[in-house]
Structure 1
Amino acid sequence: METSDVQADLKHVLYTKEQIQQRVAELAAEIDKDYEGREVLLVGVLKGAVMIMADLARALRSHLKMDWMAVSSYGSGTQSSGVVRILKDLETDLMGKHVLIVEDIIDSGLTLSWLKTNLISRGPASVEICTLLRKPAAAKVDIDVKYVGYDIPNEFVVGYGLDFAEKYRNLDFVGTLAPHVYE
């Protein structure tokens, strides 16, 4: 899907495919340095993290394992409901492992705060967070995020895994969705 296919639905493009690829490579280099000599378990949060998880895993030079979790606090709307449900749990035992949660975006932080607490309770050696996007102005809880691709304004964004009502995930860039689409 190209920008021209959805131009009427977007206010503007925030990050191009090339900008995202460059930033993912930089994040991977930081992660490789921090986890040198240790195996990391990437925990992707479905569905939005599919793109960043795949690109990050390919960019990492270290050995790694991957697992997926699906949690829900969103309906088809644009705001977090604050209620978290596990839709798909991990298959991996976390005991003693170095866990890196991989997220597409952090809005309020409520879901991620709950998820991090849940994973810590499973006995890993460490739990850190990597996200492509973070909205500092939308934060409702303070959560330590070690690896951040970009801090963005509190606008509704789509693309590169991010959706609105399951649409726009397959864009290879991140854009701001025009209000007329979701209002």
Structure 2
Amino acid sequence: MEEFIRQALIDEEAMTSLLKELEPFVYRLSYHLTRHQHDAEDLAQEVLYKICTKLSLYRGDSSLQTWVYSLVLNTYKDTLRKRKVRQFEELTETAATQSFENASNSKILLESLLEDLPEIDRHILILRFQNDLSVREVADIMNISEANVKTRVFRLKDRLRNLFRQGGEVL
């Protein structure tokens, strides 16, 4: 992968190939953050442009996927600051045995609970569970310690579990 990145820095075709490979990943992350197709497309396009212009800054300390996720997240935060619009991300974990109706109710309840969480906690939950990133990757992206991530995840899961029970559901 390192050789492919070096090649992308000097060869336009290699850069195009890299961007085509990363585009679905970038769009998916963008959509999870914005929850709106057009906003996700705009965010993804801006991130892909940043990949072109900032790829030389990638040091290889983390995986390319982690670096790209950081770009997506930071670009998204910049967009929110510019617009002064707060949006929330959703996190859904429904058991396979739940009926569609119960799953829908659980999703609505979870969305409302997530709305009340601080932004950093929502991001941690999404990175950890929706995007299946490791504690270390979440810590790298959020610029906090692994211990902090573990503590926050434990407390958030406990808090959400209790709030879910109060809402008539069991997590």
Q: What TM-score do you get using the length of structure 2 for normalisation? A: 0.25
Rg bigger for which structure?
2
Q: What TM-score do you get using the length of structure 1 for normalisation? A: 0.24
Which structure has more relative contact order (CA 8 Å, sep 6+)? It is 1
